[in-house]
Structure 1
Amino acid sequence: MVAVGVVITLIAHAIGVDYLYFASYTILQFIVLATAWNILGGYCGYVNFGSAAFFALGAYSSVFVHKVFPLPVPLLIVIGALVSGIVGLGMGYLTLRLRGSFFAIATLALAVVLQTLVVNWDFVGGSRGAYIIRPEYLEIGSFKIPYIEYLFILMLALAIIALIAARTIERSQLGFGFATIRDDELAAEACGVPTLRLKLIATALSGAFMGMAGAPFPYYIGYLQPQSAFGLEYAVNSIAMPMIGGTTTWVGPLVGAILLGTAQQYATVTISSAVNLLIVGLMLVAFVIIAPNGLVGLVQDRLRRKRS
């Protein structure tokens, strides 16, 4: 990931095209969102339709702090993670006794409730939105760096942190506990696994990482409104990307986000951003038929066949 970031920076400087930073930022943002969703949806098997709500919480926490007392973006990321993590914990406490489609509908309802609150909260812009004027450059002593490049570096760091955390969880005792919930929650409870506690940890971690992804968004977009923060593409992509890549391993969301995110950015430039959700639908249908366990699962299955 670091090497890829260095290459993108060198290419952008060489050809003088800032759009590479904007496109790469978006792909990295989806890597964080897909990885965060996978902690609850992939590792635990609880499908969350409220990804956009946690992303928007991170974004609007930055708007709130910016209006009260402006802070550096890294601190806003920490605040966004705390706010979204706490809300994730509360959502889990209220909804995790539900299972299957009932839990999914409850998370979708959370997104609707939060969007209604934001639309009617004038301090953060309400329905008319809020402007965040970012500086053109970030000055560090006598050194100046373009602000979009700075945001790109921050999102690259967040993507690396999210992937390391997901990989660590997957190979830890916590990850094994999540897997027992995904495989058979009733059997896990009968064996003494503290399933509710593990699910609460998963919702808090998942929400925190989504809030981290959303915190820099107002500075990236410049003008934040509820329709953009609670956009359907965040809820859809955060689910589709792990499913395309594979939900049982940390690599799956990374592969799915790079593949789908790159296709969407290319379509945005060559056709229109309006076709992005169409691309998601077509790729989901294709991969459900060709690789129901995702690309990583498909590769793993073929390797097992060759060994046998």
Structure 2
Amino acid sequence: MFAGYTVLQFVVLATAWNILGGYTGYVNFGSAAFFAVGAYTSVFFHKALPLPVPVLIVVAAVLCGLLGLAMGWLTLRLRGAFFSIATLALAVVLQTVVVNWHYVGGSRGAYIIKPVAGPIPGLSYIDYLVLVMLALAVLAIATARAIERSRLGLGFAAIRDDELAAEANGVPTLRLKLIATTISGAFMGMAGAPFPYYIGYVEPASAFGLPYAVNAIAMPMIGGTTTWVGPLIGAVLLGSLQQIATVTISSAVNLLIVGLLLVGFVIVAPNGIVGLWRKLFGRDRKGAAP
């Protein structure tokens, strides 16, 4: 159940990152910041006003959506590597704030004593959290799929393919990018909200950890970034491999696995598993290879 929760958590994170990084073409290195804000939202309310986990998820979605909107407003006038560096700086700033915020534990971290039984009769609290994360994964995938097939998705694709040409043709690029950062940030925060109850202890080094930022990028790239199913495939594949390595070898090799797979796919299949599948087996309406 713990492994299943982790894989589902990465499905939400990878799908959320892909809304901005895959659909719109803006690489966000600050995924861990949104995840951590969601986690520390739960820590704050656990001390101030204990709320049910579904309510905490909604609160985290609102806060991280607003954070994504603010980040977009400040940074989306930058492009390419400059935008990516700005998102990385955001993660560093927020981690510094949390380290010095003693109410939520500061650098020492904070313990969360979770109930033994969940609110659903017959389920432990861990089982309940897995169901909650499964619902979040389904919601994230359904949202990404709906965006991909909508006018909003066409606007995102226009920005990804050629932003200057999109602007010249009347596409409201800044507005669409702000929508992308808001939706992406909200889902990342939702993924982080149940984390303190799942793990029982949260500290800045773990919540803002490199694995969340790296996996959020690597999983969509390995699965395929231009479709909703790519992050799902990448998260299930990479997340499962990491869980197997954790129980058989050590969790220390997880990032090594990510790095090797990412380098391999960049060389062999730069468009990910979905792109490779379409190249080998896909056909357009006329029967020719796409």
TM-score by length of 1: 0.92
Which residue is equivalent to 1:11? Answer: none
| Amino acid of the structure 2 residue aligned with 1:134 | K
Alignment map for 1:238-249 (pairs within 5 Å): 238-249=216-227
Percent identity for Structure 1 against Structure 2: 74
Q: Aligned partners of 2:155, 2:270: CA distance in 1, in Å?
A: 24
* 1:168 alignment partner in structure 2: 146
1:202 and 2:180 are equivalent in the alignment: yes
| Counterpart pick for 2:20 among 25, 40, 57 | 40
- How far does residue 172 in structure 1 lie from its aligned partner after superposition? 0.2
| Distance (whole Å) between structure 2 residues aligned to residue 88 and residue 118 of structure 1 | 18
**Please, what TM-score do these two structures have when normalized by structure 2?**
0.97
Equivalent position of 2:261 in the other structure: 283
Shift of 1:290: 1.2
Residue matched to 2:114: 134
Tell me, in whole angstroms, the C-alpha distance in 2 between the residues paired with 1:178 and 1:250.
13
Q: Give 3-state SS (helix, strand or coil) of 1:138's partner.
A: coil
Which amino acid letter does the alignment assign opposite residue 82 of structure 1? V
Equivalent of 1:149, from 117, 122, 127?
127
Pairing of 1:211-222 with structure 2 (within 5 A): 211-222=189-200
Q: Output aligned runs, 1:256-271, within 5 Å.
A: 256-271=234-249
How far off is 1:305 after superposition?
6.1
Runs of 4+ residues deviating >2 angstroms: 303-308
Q: Write the letter of the residue equivalent to 1:116.
A: T
- Select which of 59, 67, 74 maps to 2:39: 59
SS of equivalent to 2:123: strand
SS for the counterpart of 2:282 is helix
**How many residues align structurally?**
286
Match of 2:58 in 1: 78
Cα distance in 2 for partners of 1:105, 1:285 equals: 21
The alpha-carbon deviation at position 144 of structure 1 amounts to 3.5
Structure 2 unaligned spans of 5+: none
Distance (whole Å) between structure 1 residues aligned to residue 203 and residue 60 of structure 2: 17
Partner of 1:272: 250
Partner SS for 1:137: coil
Distance 1:44 1:144 in 2: 43
What is the one-letter code of the residue matched to 2:158?
A: T
SS in structure 2 opposite 1:256? helix
Spell out, residue by residue over 1:249-290, the C-alpha distance to the aligned partner (whole angstroms, 9 max, x if none).
000000000010000000000000000000000000111111
Instruction: Provide the C-alpha distance between the structure 1 equivalents of 2:265 and 2:247, rounded to a whole number of angstroms.
Output: 24
The structure 1 residue matched to 2:83, chosen from 90, 97, 103, is 103
Q: CA deviation at 1:302?
A: 1.4
Give the letter aligned to residue 263 of structure 2. Answer: V
**Cα 1:184/1:223, change in 2 over 3 Å:** same
- Output the CA distance in 2 between the equivalents of 1:180 and 1:139: 45
* d(CA) in 1 for partners of 2:122, 2:263: 46
